[in-house]
Amino acid sequence: MKIYLNGKFVPKEEAKVSVFDHGLLYGDGVFEGIRAYDGNVFMLKEHIDRLYDSAKSICLDIPLTKEEMIDVVLETLRVNNLKDAYIRLVVTRGEGDLGLDPRKCKEPSIICIAIPMPPLLGEEGIRAITVSVRRPPIDVLNPAVKSLNYLNSVLAKILANYANVDEALLLDKEGYVVEGTGDNIFVVKNGVLKTSPPYLSILKGITRDVVIKLAKEEGIEVREEPITLHDLYTADELFITGTAAEIVPIFEIDGRIINNKKVGEITKRLRERFKEIRTKWGIKI
Ligand code: PMP
């Protein structure tokens, strides 16, 4: 396995960053998780745009153009001879000192890792719980910024692990159910598809946007509206979306069974459509 690290491809064992890197010391950096399907890097441009928006939001100047960054991703896949892969693209503030002043950091570190990876949560329906860990308010640490600080999601995942379920769903401070640890939530009720709006505490998922588009193409009504616990518990169908997870139905939430533990019609249709377009929407390796 060859890793892209600051302009070079190096073996995994040699892919190392400084212990003074602010990405390690403070979670000071941004990242993307991207997938390639059969030689097509799915929604690559959109991921790169989100990476640069995250970076801009935290005042991190990425020393490559977007076109050069796209080439980094494509080259990493080529060098590793991968057509289907999960790609992790990371930009950290770089090496500084123990102080948190980012002006001490000389230049950002850029890392690209590509590995084969099946859908993260499997293809079956999953069990989930809502957890006590709240998603940070948008005026505290906006989840729209895909920063390296994922402690909030990690803590929620630990609670799911303790409860012996597959995934945790997080509420915001107001009590709306906003998103999973690394995925967005969709509720189907009476044929209408509902998902959390971007003005709440969510990462605006690229899979989320694709699913909204596909649903509209299928003639399904989509509403971006706040989701309550009651919406979850009384849903006809429930699923999460994300690059790593793809589209995964939730069969059980806080002990309530959804759709008799069967994949619902709308979920099924969207999954089929997603499988059709995932090798087409994006950039060829
Ligand atoms: N929310 C969070 C917190 C995430 O980490 C992710 C994964 N990037 C998502 C939602 C889904 O986003 P995407 O569909 O772009 O992978």
Give tens-digit pLDDT for 156-176.
Answer: 999 999 999 999 999 999 999
Domain assignments of the chain as residue spans, ordered by start: 2-116, 126-278
Taking the whole predicted model, whether its pTM rises above 0.95 is answered as: yes
Q: Which atom of ligand 1 is nearest to the CA of 245?
A: 16
Question: Does the annotation count 157 as an active-site position?
Answer: no
pLDDT, position 123? 76
Closest CA to 253 of 130, 156, 74, 85: 130
Which of 138, 155, 183 has most ligand 1 atoms within 8 Å of its beta carbon, as the pocket-test mutant?
183
pLDDT, position 119? 80
Per-residue pLDDT tens digits for 80-117: 999 999 999 999 999 999 999 999 999 999 999 999 98
Distance CA 87, CA 62 (A): 18
Per-residue pLDDT tens digits for 130-155: 999 999 999 999 999 999 999 999 99
Q: Name all residues whose Cβ lies below 6 A of ligand 1.
A: 33, 143, 153, 179, 182-184, 203, 205-208, 241-243
pLDDT, position 221? 98
Is CATH 3.20.10.10 what the domain over 126-278 is classified as, yes or no? yes
Q: Which atom of ligand 1 is nearest to the CA of 244?
A: 16
* Domains 2-116 and 126-278 in one fold: no
Cβ atoms within 10 Å of 242's Cβ, excluding its own: 24
pLDDT, position 120? 80
Q: Which atom of ligand 1 is nearest to the CA of 202?
A: 1
Q: Place 180 in a pLDDT band, splitting at 50, 70 and 90.
A: very high
Q: Mean pLDDT across the stretch 203-219?
A: 98
Choose, from 146, 261, 262, 284, the residue flagged as catalytic.
146
The tokens for 241 are: 């979306």
The helix/strand/coil state of 230 is: helix
CATH class of the structural domain 2-116: alpha beta
CA distance to 73, 201, 278, 279, per residue, from 283 (Å): 10, 30, 11, 9
For residue 29, the surrounding DSSP H or E stretch is: strand 29-37
Which of 43, 243, 247, 248 has most ligand 1 atoms within 8 Å of its beta carbon, as the pocket-test mutant?
243
Helix intervals (H) in 58-150: 66-79
> 32 C-alpha to center of ligand 1: Å?
9
pLDDT, position 173? 97
Q: Place 189 in a pLDDT band, splitting at 50, 70 and 90.
A: very high
